[in-house]
Structure 1
Amino acid sequence: MDLLAEDAVGVFDERIRLNPFDVDAHRRKSFFLEGLARLPEAAAAAAAGLEVAPEDEYLLDLQGRVLHRLGRKDDAVARWKEALRVNPKNAVLKRYVEWLDPSVKPFELPYVEDANTLLAAVRGREKENPENDPSVVVLDKGVVRVNTDGTYSSFTQKIVKILSNQGVKQNSSYFAGSFFAAEQAFEWRTARVWRADGSVEEAQVQSGSPMVRWPKLEPGDAIEVQHRVDQLRQTFFGDYFGDSWMFSDRVPVVRSEWTVICPAEKDLAVHVKNMPEGKGEPAVSKSGDGKWTVRTWSLSDLPKIRMEPGMPNPAETHPVVEVSTYRDWNQFATWWWNLIKKQFTVDDGMRAKVAELVKGKETRLDKVRAIYDFVVTDIQYQAWEFGVHGYKPYAATAIFNRKWGDCKDKAILIRTMLDVVGIEAFPVLIYAAQGRSEEDMTLPQIGKFNHCIAWVPDADGKGTGMFLDGTAQYNSLHSVPAMDRGARVLIVKPDGAEVVQIPWNTPEEFAFVQEYDVALDGSGAATLDGKARFTGDFSVMARSLFSVEGKRPLVLQGMLGQSFGKHSIVETRFPDLADIGSPEVEVGLKFRVDGLGVVEGGRMSVPVKFIQFGVLQQFGRVAATEKREHDLVLMNPMAFTERAVVRVPEGWKVASVPGDRSIETPFGRFVVKAKAEGDAVSFERTTALTAHRLETEDYAAFRDMVAKATNALTEKIVLERAAAPEAAPAEGAPPEGGGKA
């Protein structure tokens, strides 16, 4: 038998001699020797294999098992920990290591609460539900332990009691949040249903998946989840840690609690907002050995946050605690600048291109425009949000030569190319959004940004600063995208950071103007000849919609058809849409509408129609409720101006025109002017939103303006047939009523 065993070992040795990188041979040799109880040799064979493949989870597990059999418990646990780092989904091994080594037992165990006890306090709540709440959050608890190197473990326990059928629908599934599988491990601790009759039913969960679908629920049931996320290795942010906790929900909350456990020697900056008086300071304690500082914030009996359309971001309205290991934005900016400073590379090809772009450009602003236009049009935008390149741009030369990059790549390229001609620029971190809430930049956290642009402190030689968004393919130099407007941003410089706000646009900078001469005939058909002028982000929309020349008639037909119904396009006049130098796009068009006016007997009703984008209809939806609890976050300031001269057809005259009106408020204006002059009616209507946000005390006035503006869209010019002129008597005929019988 011994000879056969030696022969078998010899076979493995020969395989390894022929191919030292044959990991399978190393595994089999170690496993075979373990089976022969030749444990020191098995451990040595596993160690030899790990020299070839140091992260082979099977060899790590095997070596740990052999070392444990040899009585070397600490060495075995160390190997198993490494195996779990490589594959954190090995639940069986994880439980065994926790049992062997008290130091790796779940840190959250002292914080787990008994659901049965908590649910007893809300028993019968589904029967005493005066506001018909769909559910109530019995417990929303988070515990996070931060390690010295910035890695962390985060535990959540949440218990929700279902109060109604609506609550059953809203809680049919539970999502525990996203995680990055390459760097984080997710694990369910518990997912179960507490039935109204006291029984408990476990839900089926899939290892590694943060989603659970519940068995059929009924009012009176409760759901409980416990789950944990572990950061497995330090990220390129180094020892940085940042996180936040929101305490309220759209349903009542019995208790919400957040605990942060941090090494005693690690500085942790804290910022609280919207917290009830006296609740902003945490309960602070030390671990038994003094190595950890424990901070806990707890709020009880929180009323529900009533959801409203257009309400501010929850981070603005909910009680929130934020923590960060960065003490200020300068510390963060220094770290990020050191990460990106080597990416400002230049080669001969880039220098030649810059020289070509600025040739003949005499002013500083023209040079900035030439480089900006090149980056936004010739460098293709491709988002790249994974790994280190989610935060670190590629080298400027690589971006330039391959002709594509994401937002930070384009910002870096703008900065580098401007530097070639001696114009200073810096990257800017920003949270791009449509409909912007107030942004709190008190505490430095990396998660407060999702976009990167550039800042030129002096774009024209006169000290005029400009923000340049390299992803804005159709925006002119003078037209910052609406998603960037109003943002509080971080300008990153070699010596630190500067927090500033991008100015909001004026309504005139985001405007749509239409002017038509309307030739009406007696049947109600009309020919409209005029122009539509798109400014700011409307010009971006026009350049995008009409970018394919062959599809322009089809796009126009869709726009005109929604407002005018059956029509035919006679003529269109488009500028060079590839030229983004101007913040405006003016489109000339002439079209025929079959039934603009409606003839009924001796009268004709003529609605004054224009292309509409449905903005008033959107305002009408958010203004549907009589009162609001929260401010209303609106769109960017914008303006719509509509002018028409309606030619009255022969044989008709003006009976009435829409009445003049003017509404001026701190947040908008609505003006209508109409006047009959001879055989024509001149009409002008302006609707402008002058504010990006509406305070609750202005909501009633806003509703009134929206209602009046919406009603005005239906007003009409009314014509009536003119009396036929009296015929002149024939020559020599006696006057009417005269002569003899």
Structure 2
Amino acid sequence: LRARHVEQRGRALEARALRERAVALPECAAQPWAQLARAEWLRAAGDAAGSLAALQRAFDQRRLAGGVRDALRARLIDADRVADALALEQQVYDGAPYEVDALLAQAELHELAGAPQAARERLSAALALCPEEPQAWRALARIEQRLSDAAGADRAYAALLALEPGDAKARRARALLSAGDGAGFETPYRWDGLARAAAHRASPLGAEPVLVVDRTKVWKIDADGTEHVYEHVLLRAQNERGVQLLDEWPIVHDARGLPLVHVLRAIRADGSFERATPPRRARTTDSGLVARIWDLPPLASGDYVEAEWRIDESGPDLFGRYFGARHLFQADYPDPQASVLRSELVVLSAPELNVYVEERNGEQLQHEVTVDANGLRSYRFFARDLARLSPEGFMPPLAELVPVVDLSTYANWAEFGRWWWHFIEKELDTSAALRAKVAELVAGKSGERERVESILRFVAQEVRYNSWPFGTHGYEPFTATTIFERRLGDCKDKSILLRQMLAEIGVAARPVLIRAEHRRPDEPLRAAMVEHFNHCIAWVEPTPERDGYFLDATAEHNPLEYLREDDQGAEVLVVGPDGVERRAIPYAHADDNELRRRYAVELDASGRGRVALRDDSVGGFAVRLRERYSGRADARAARLAGELERGLGKVDVDAIRSSDLDDIGARAWLEADLRAASLWTQEAAGPSVAPAFDPLPILDAAAEPAGEREHDLVFDRPFALHTTVEWKLPDGWRARALPEPSAIELPGLLDYRREVRATSAGFEVERRFRLLERRIPVARYAEFQDALRRIASAEQARVELRASAGGDR
């Protein structure tokens, strides 16, 4: 009791010491809580076997239900000893034949072992003893569905609802089993995986890890927007790597989805099969989805994996009757680029809903549209013999290169934009407190720019960012005043709050839908669907005095003139009460995204050196300067030493000075005084130094031979690097020879300059590189590759040093 008392007051270590003393008392030795505590301490110490043995001894003393039995069962399952866990529950049941919990536990273990029929028998026995147990009916409904017994599942759900009428999930699940609400929609498209594996088995094994033999995906959209999705995949493991990739199978769905697994099994070379082990529990992903990971049986090369399941929404989501999806005909898992022999997509829509389709790279697709006697529309697409793409460095994203189908219930962007504005306009409110805060933020600021900067800084830095899912699943709209009061919101919330606060100073802004993305693909945005977007920013409307511009309220370190890097280059949708406008955000020019550093190096005769650094970077490099070095002095010294280690080796940071890096209205700069342990390399002819410290990041990008490259090179964005290193040599030392100037230029793509100049104290190296275009057409790949190789050769130059006999430099 005392241990529990002190633990409740946050004194965990004291509570543990008290429990250890209690456990050691002879009168407590046989107490279940003490036995559990000893077993848990052994497990925490890494002695899993000792913990399991202690629990087994404790259970053998009584063989009763309770905490010891529960812990022992859990440890046996963790050790993959399901049969022993079943024997344990049988012992409990033998000692107490009316113990319903033991029968439920046995049913769960049989399900875990892939024996649903045995699980059904145990549940039936439990219900014979206790027909008013809702947990048993719920488990039986799940098992009946797994056994494809829809009538049995319906009976189980009906019994459950008689006991718990308020179970909305069970009520919806029963509705899904009834005719006309998604039930059996997949039946016309199901196929026999054993037969297809047998027909394919004679085909030789290929070189890639996994082959997609067949894939079918079916969407059904009800009149109210409720979605059902069915998928059936047959894969072949072709080598040891494929065996490793197919160790498990994830089924991921929205939290409102009801999963039903028809088949999940390994098919052997002799035609036999072994079912996968179902997960003990689901887990929630970072994006709010539910993941169930099935453990597949051990495979050998040539074995197949068949997975067949469906997910049914429990009702319409927040976006109502909207449906949108992007479908690639390759398998999502485990290798999105694996070759595909056959892939089918079917979309079934209620008569009240039109689905608009856009194809890309559809030359290999066959498709048909039909309408049945009840008005149900069927959109059906087939792809065959999709070869694996040859991997290339910096190649475009997959969606640019393979067949893609985009689906949406909106005909065009104008219709979509009207719906989205209506969806969010209720959030656009204000309050006296919000207006007062705006007045405080802009007090003393001169001109619109300073006032906008002050408001942007508040929303970006003082309203905490919290990432919620962007799309139809999990969207939680909040009013601007709620976001302001809570000081918490995601990108949509922050953009709405920013719009309302700017309105208080007479600056008009609109929300903008955008896909934030690095190495951005070429995306035509032909289908009007929300899945094209994952982020929300703001568009400040133009006035007669200035142009319009974009603001991102999640970018807490970006100045007004430099938009977040993964916003740049996007095709966006500006949404307002009078319609939508499509705009393109340009990339910042390389000159506006430049690493600018100057080093003053004072070298001593042992190779050590004192280095004075000045960083005046702009664009994304300045943003990273703010992000990395706006914290405590000791932390940023360690970060700076780590960043410079590649070029300077081990350094000690004596001092750091900087601008106010949290002030996005002030230009960022940083100075540092450093001590480098060794700046030269000893060679046979004497020491030499690398003329510069900051490496160019893309010199190894063009690795494929020029005649074999098939796709464009896609980099992140244009950038530049401009560094100067002034070397002051020790007395009596001089450079043997200075490298010749280097100038390399590809008009419109890149340029490079490097010059090494003699000075009175040593020499100075100035170099500048600019990548002017972030996408290199394959037609110019050969000349681009040649330029990079020449730049790499220039970057390899070193300056040899020697001590002069006369003491001159």
What is the TM-score of this pair, normalised by structure 1?
A: 0.80
Question: Residue 212 of structure 1 corresponds to which residue in structure 2?
Answer: 294
The structure with the largest alpha-carbon Rg is 1
Alignment partner of 2:343 out of 256, 259, 263: 256
Question: Residue 153 of structure 1 corresponds to which residue in structure 2?
Answer: 228
Question: Residue 633 of structure 1 corresponds to which residue in structure 2?
Answer: 714
- Does structure 1 residue 473 correspond to structure 2 residue 556? yes
- Root-mean-square deviation (CA, aligned residues, Å) is 3.4
CA distance in 2: counterparts of 1:451 and 1:630, whole angstroms: 28
Does the residue aligned with 2:545 lie in a helix, a strand or coil?
A: coil
Q: 1:675 to 1:263 in 2, by over 3 A?
A: same
Question: Residue 371 of structure 2 corresponds to which residue in structure 1?
Answer: 286
Alignment partner of 2:546 out of 441, 463, 467: 463
Q: 1:119 to 1:655 in 2, by over 3 A?
A: same
Render the CA deviation track for 1:404-436: whole Å, top value 9, x for unaligned.
Answer: 222111111110011112111001111111221
Does the residue aligned with 1:585 lie in a helix, a strand or coil?
A: coil
Question: Residue 728 of structure 2 corresponds to which residue in structure 1?
Answer: 647
Q: 1:198 to 1:685 in 2, by over 3 A?
A: same
CA distance in 1: counterparts of 2:560 and 2:684, whole angstroms: 55
Query: How many Å apart are 1:518 and its aligned residue?
Result: 2.6
2:157/2:174 contact within 8 Å kept: no
1:250/1:306 contact within 8 Å kept: no
- Does structure 1 residue 363 correspond to structure 2 residue 447? yes
CA distance in 1: counterparts of 2:593 and 2:170, whole angstroms: 52
Alignment partner of 1:193 out of 247, 263, 266: 266
CA distance in 1: counterparts of 2:243 and 2:606, whole angstroms: 59
Query: How many Å apart are 1:653 and its aligned residue?
Result: 3.4
- Does structure 1 residue 179 correspond to structure 2 residue 253? yes
Render the CA deviation track for 1:251-276: whole Å, top value 9, x for unaligned.
Answer: 22111111111123422211011011
1:240/1:324 contact within 8 Å kept: yes
Letter of the 1:160 partner, please give it: L
2:237/2:302 contact within 8 Å kept: yes
- Does structure 1 residue 548 correspond to structure 2 residue 631? yes
Q: 1:427 to 1:387 in 2, by over 3 A?
A: closer
Q: Which range moves more in the overlay, 222-231 or 249-258? A: 249-258
Does the residue aligned with 2:517 lie in a helix, a strand or coil?
A: coil
Does the residue aligned with 1:534 lie in a helix, a strand or coil?
A: coil
Identity of aligned residues (%): 31
Question: Residue 738 of structure 2 corresponds to which residue in structure 1?
Answer: 657
CA distance in 1: counterparts of 2:438 and 2:565, whole angstroms: 29
2:692/2:765 contact within 8 Å kept: no
Question: Residue 512 of structure 2 corresponds to which residue in structure 1?
Answer: 428
Does the residue aligned with 2:668 lie in a helix, a strand or coil?
A: strand
Query: How many Å apart are 1:571 and its aligned residue?
Result: 3.8
Question: Residue 266 of structure 1 corresponds to which residue in structure 2?
Answer: 353
Q: 1:674 to 1:267 in 2, by over 3 A?
A: same
Query: How many Å apart are 1:156 and its aligned residue?
Result: 0.8
1:504/1:636 contact within 8 Å kept: yes
Render the CA deviation track for 1:435-487: whole Å, top value 9, x for unaligned.
Answer: 211223111112221111111022x7523111111111111111111111111
Alignment partner of 1:232 out of 303, 311, 314: 314
Alignment partner of 2:276 out of 203, 209, 226: 203
1:453/1:467 contact within 8 Å kept: yes
Query: How many Å apart are 1:719 and its aligned residue?
Result: 3.0
Alignment partner of 1:675 out of 740, 745, 757: 757
Question: Residue 738 of structure 1 corresponds to which residue in structure 2?
Answer: none
CA distance in 1: counterparts of 2:463 and 2:443, whole angstroms: 20
Q: 1:202 to 1:87 in 2, by over 3 A?
A: farther
Number of aligned residue pairs: give it.
644
1:404-423 superposed matches below 5 A: 404-423=488-507
Does the residue aligned with 1:560 lie in a helix, a strand or coil?
A: helix
Query: How many Å apart are 1:87 and its aligned residue?
Result: 6.3
2:753/2:769 contact within 8 Å kept: yes
Question: Residue 562 of structure 1 corresponds to which residue in structure 2?
Answer: 646
CA distance in 2: counterparts of 1:386 and 1:333, whole angstroms: 16
Query: How many Å apart are 1:388 and its aligned residue?
Result: 8.2
Q: 1:125 to 1:650 in 2, by over 3 A?
A: same
Does the residue aligned with 2:378 lie in a helix, a strand or coil?
A: strand
- Does structure 1 residue 486 correspond to structure 2 residue 569? yes
Alignment partner of 1:126 out of 204, 209, 213: 204
CA distance in 1: counterparts of 2:342 and 2:601, whole angstroms: 65
Question: Residue 776 of structure 2 corresponds to which residue in structure 1?
Answer: 694
Does the residue aligned with 1:276 lie in a helix, a strand or coil?
A: helix
Q: 1:598 to 1:392 in 2, by over 3 A?
A: closer
Query: How many Å apart are 1:167 and its aligned residue?
Result: 1.8
CA distance in 2: counterparts of 1:366 and 1:104, whole angstroms: 57
Q: 1:560 to 1:285 in 2, by over 3 A?
A: closer
Query: How many Å apart are 1:194 and its aligned residue?
Result: 1.8
Question: Residue 536 of structure 1 corresponds to which residue in structure 2?
Answer: 619
CA distance in 1: counterparts of 2:135 and 2:564, whole angstroms: 50
Q: Which range moves more in the overlay, 192-201 or 670-679? A: 670-679
Letter of the 2:577 partner, please give it: P
CA distance in 2: counterparts of 1:695 and 1:506, whole angstroms: 19
CA distance in 2: counterparts of 1:156 and 1:85, whole angstroms: 31
Does the residue aligned with 2:450 lie in a helix, a strand or coil?
A: helix
- Does structure 1 residue 115 correspond to structure 2 residue 193? yes
The unaligned stretches of length 5 or more in structure 2 are 1-133, 142-151, 283-290, 331-335
Q: 1:273 to 1:80 in 2, by over 3 A?
A: farther
Query: How many Å apart are 1:628 and its aligned residue?
Result: 3.2
Alignment partner of 1:517 out of 581, 585, 600: 600
Does the residue aligned with 1:113 lie in a helix, a strand or coil?
A: coil
Q: 1:668 to 1:57 in 2, by over 3 A?
A: farther
2:227/2:316 contact within 8 Å kept: no
Q: 1:239 to 1:571 in 2, by over 3 A?
A: closer
1:49-68 superposed matches below 5 A: none
Q: 1:389 to 1:143 in 2, by over 3 A?
A: closer
Question: Residue 3 of structure 1 corresponds to which residue in structure 2?
Answer: none
2:261/2:309 contact within 8 Å kept: yes
Greater per-residue helix proportion: 2
Q: 1:363 to 1:203 in 2, by over 3 A?
A: same
- Does structure 1 residue 607 correspond to structure 2 residue 694? no
2:326/2:531 contact within 8 Å kept: no
Letter of the 1:591 partner, please give it: L
- Does structure 1 residue 139 correspond to structure 2 residue 217? no
Letter of the 2:234 partner, please give it: I
1:186/1:210 contact within 8 Å kept: no
Q: 1:210 to 1:667 in 2, by over 3 A?
A: farther
Letter of the 2:192 partner, please give it: D
Query: How many Å apart are 1:85 and its aligned residue?
Result: 11
Render the CA deviation track for 1:478-537: whole Å, top value 9, x for unaligned.
Answer: 111111111111111112211211110111222111112333344433333341122222
- Does structure 1 residue 620 correspond to structure 2 residue 707? no
2:468/2:475 contact within 8 Å kept: no
Question: Residue 733 of structure 1 corresponds to which residue in structure 2?
Answer: none
Alignment partner of 1:596 out of 664, 676, 679: 679
Q: 1:706 to 1:682 in 2, by over 3 A?
A: same
What is the TM-score of this pair, normalised by structure 2?
A: 0.73
CA distance in 1: counterparts of 2:182 and 2:449, whole angstroms: 61
Letter of the 1:358 partner, please give it: V
Q: 1:104 to 1:429 in 2, by over 3 A?
A: closer
CA distance in 1: counterparts of 2:683 and 2:179, whole angstroms: 92
